[in-house]
Structure 1
């Protein structure tokens, strides 16, 4: 299996999903070797975690890198132009070149593919499983060596992530999807997008929804607003795809009617600075706050103090973060342009651009905690059913079919 990030070196939902998927498969008895660009010493017991850096350094003669010194993993969904800016800044700060990734993101995916071919030549595998475009070339390289079925797991596509698609990334996605023997999409929404944009036959695409780890079996209690400030929350990358513009506009509308409220955006991205400036021009800098990128512990603390979660994504293949909010008793509003809305059909939805509707639905939940509690109560059986063990069983069925046909 090839992935781009894995806990604790993660920047978003892809790493969380890879952890859940691999654990779910391991529970079914699948033996997994997962290669990622780099790892820490904290590796789980249910799989063999391999670093592409170590594969390459072992293959080539020369000094092996000290992985404890390497700067953290780059985001799975960093834009190529953002990557180049990050690389220049790192060089200017005096970080030794040998501790950096290469000068461009495509170089990194090529290097990763080289490591994949080397790994494939050393060990026998029954099939190959890749997660999103950064690993597609690696999967194709391994398939060329092994001649076994190739499974591509689509968590998102380039058309979801950017209003101006990078043609080089789109081409990698196209090549990988055409070469795949089986394509697993995280939602029917994503499957339809892949079919529409890349003209992939429906016969080799299958939907397996993501899962969630519930911390307990008790239905959480929705917070009440007695003698405290109510809080609305946005959680995710502050990029075009996630619709943060529509969140701050929804927040502005609600604040016009509930001025004592507070809204928080947790995350970072290329739209963060322009939105901070917009909020400042509105004079709402003390009401709409930007928390930056938070670790898992701080995210949970923020969820524990929130009364409303809003996910106004322009194109959301699934939406794991919504499951996390709901599992902690935070009532939610979802974009209709999302995969999670096809699973949690009782959660209120709006088109991403309909900020008036988001504001109206949000105020109904804020003014009526019992309404929010009913929302949590209704979806709780579904959340309990959406576990990674079920996800692993579904994927294993596709594995078995492919291996039997090979």
Structure 2
């Protein structure tokens, strides 16, 4: 075995199965944001990642094969360059992080985002055991929400002192309160139009169909509301199903699709909206909800996963998952109660400040250095 050599100071290797590209600029954008901030602080990074979100069998096999091949040979021959290896999503990226730790004795940090624990690890006993091994051998495990924190403790038996609960943080320079009417004018939105905003992948698990059902009832009682949907569709057959449902509900003129937008564009649409709605079936954390809070709009979200904690303490409105009637009621209550909306906005802004990305990045850097951090400040209360 090669002898470990001294790593370059402040040089990190990022391994992730999600990262943006020119063709897919929002795919894993939260990882890139953290990498950009780290580089602003003097941490030099090299990224080995998957940058193609396509899920058909051919592209999945091709992208994972090429990615794993590159990761294997890079760590084998260049793993001694790095002070830290930071893995986003436990499996399969963690396998190569573990390789760097064992071969070169490098510090291994693993960030758990949700799907790697809720879905991937449950696919088979073998993947579950590999996930557990990676988590146990990591020097530190970062999880983005309280539900994941409990899963790590109870299901994977990770030692409590090895877990830090840190969200990816919200960029409050981008997502900030702006004058609603001025932004509406900038976006060419009628002054009296009330926008209900959805931001996310257009997939069944994001609760898109339930949102359409809820919106139809709301529109019947308020002709000024519009539903704006921001995000890509990953499955054409499901998107066709969405279009058919819109036609069947007779709301074609009231639903607007924007496709993929830049973070700055998303922030403007948040400023122009009455609220963000996030009807997901599962969420590890729900960063987009935090971005909406930082933009000064209320959030309505499913009572699941990290959203249950994030929207707690009257920071948002929760409704039972897959329940379009309760979703419609929650949206209507905010539209009709300005005092309630103002209270949600105030509480949401406070929560967003707790998750300021600059503050949380200081904690990530402390973890890289092996320093202790104030755990009380890392947990979403």
By the TM > 0.5 criterion, same fold? yes
**1:339 aligned residue:** 306
Q: Distance in 1 between matches of 2:30 and 2:323?
A: 30
1:272-295 Cα offsets, whole Å, 9 max, x none, are: 222222222222222233333333
1:117 matched to 2:75: yes
3-state SS of the aligned residue for 1:339? Answer: helix
**1:74 aligned residue:** 52
**1:58 aligned residue:** none
Per the TM alignment, residue 162 of structure 1 is displaced from its structure 2 partner at its CA by: 7.9
Per the TM alignment, residue 122 of structure 1 is displaced from its structure 2 partner at its CA by: 4.8
Contact 2:146–2:165 (Cα < 8 Å) also in 1: yes
Q: Distance in 1 between matches of 2:369 and 2:175?
A: 32
- Counterpart mapping for 1:81-120 below 5 A: 82-85=55-58, 87=59, 103-118=61-76, 120=78
Q: Distance in 1 between matches of 2:66 and 2:285?
A: 26
**1:52 aligned residue:** none
**1:185 aligned residue:** 143
Q: Distance in 1 between matches of 2:156 and 2:217?
A: 38
Equivalent of 1:128, from 85, 89, 114?
Answer: 85
Quick check: 310-319 or 265-274, which moved more?
265-274
Per the TM alignment, residue 218 of structure 1 is displaced from its structure 2 partner at its CA by: 7.3
- Counterpart mapping for 1:145-224 below 5 A: 145-158=103-116, 160=118, 165=123, 173-215=131-173, 219-220=177-178
In structure 2, the CA distance between the partners of 1:245 and 1:148, relative to structure 1 (3 Å rule), is: same
Equivalent of 2:296, from 319, 329, 346?
Answer: 329
Contact 2:294–2:348 (Cα < 8 Å) also in 1: no
**1:385 aligned residue:** 354
Per the TM alignment, residue 248 of structure 1 is displaced from its structure 2 partner at its CA by: 1.8
Q: How many residues align?
A: 346
1:114-147 Cα offsets, whole Å, 9 max, x none, are: 1441454452x33321111352232122223212
**1:15 aligned residue:** 29
Contact 1:188–1:207 (Cα < 8 Å) also in 2: yes
Equivalent of 1:255, from 219, 237, 241?
Answer: 219
1:169-216 Cα offsets, whole Å, 9 max, x none, are: 666644532432321101111222344554544443221123112128
Unaligned runs of 5+ in 1: 39-72, 88-101
In structure 2, the CA distance between the partners of 1:172 and 1:109, relative to structure 1 (3 Å rule), is: farther
1:290-338 Cα offsets, whole Å, 9 max, x none, are: 3333333543343243222101111111111112222223321122214
**2:367 aligned residue:** 398
1:246 matched to 2:210: yes
1:8-48 Cα offsets, whole Å, 9 max, x none, are: 65654733244236625864x6x34232348xxxxxxxxxx
Q: Distance in 2 between matches of 1:253 and 1:160?
A: 33
Cα RMSD of the aligned pairs, angstroms, is 3.5
1:364 matched to 2:364: no
3-state SS of the aligned residue for 2:28? Answer: helix
Contact 1:158–1:166 (Cα < 8 Å) also in 2: no
Per the TM alignment, residue 339 of structure 1 is displaced from its structure 2 partner at its CA by: 1.9
Per the TM alignment, residue 357 of structure 1 is displaced from its structure 2 partner at its CA by: 2.3
3-state SS of the aligned residue for 2:241? Answer: helix
Q: Distance in 2 between matches of 1:277 and 1:166?
A: 35
Q: Distance in 1 between matches of 2:65 and 2:103?
A: 21
Contact 1:6–1:15 (Cα < 8 Å) also in 2: yes
Per the TM alignment, residue 370 of structure 1 is displaced from its structure 2 partner at its CA by: 4.3
Contact 1:344–1:382 (Cα < 8 Å) also in 2: no
In structure 2, the CA distance between the partners of 1:137 and 1:402, relative to structure 1 (3 Å rule), is: farther
3-state SS of the aligned residue for 2:141? Answer: strand
Per the TM alignment, residue 219 of structure 1 is displaced from its structure 2 partner at its CA by: 4.7
Q: What TM-score results when the alignment is normalised by the length of structure 1?
A: 0.72
Q: Distance in 1 between matches of 2:290 and 2:35?
A: 16
Unaligned runs of 5+ in 2: 1-12, 373-381
Q: Distance in 2 between matches of 1:21 and 1:273?
A: 36
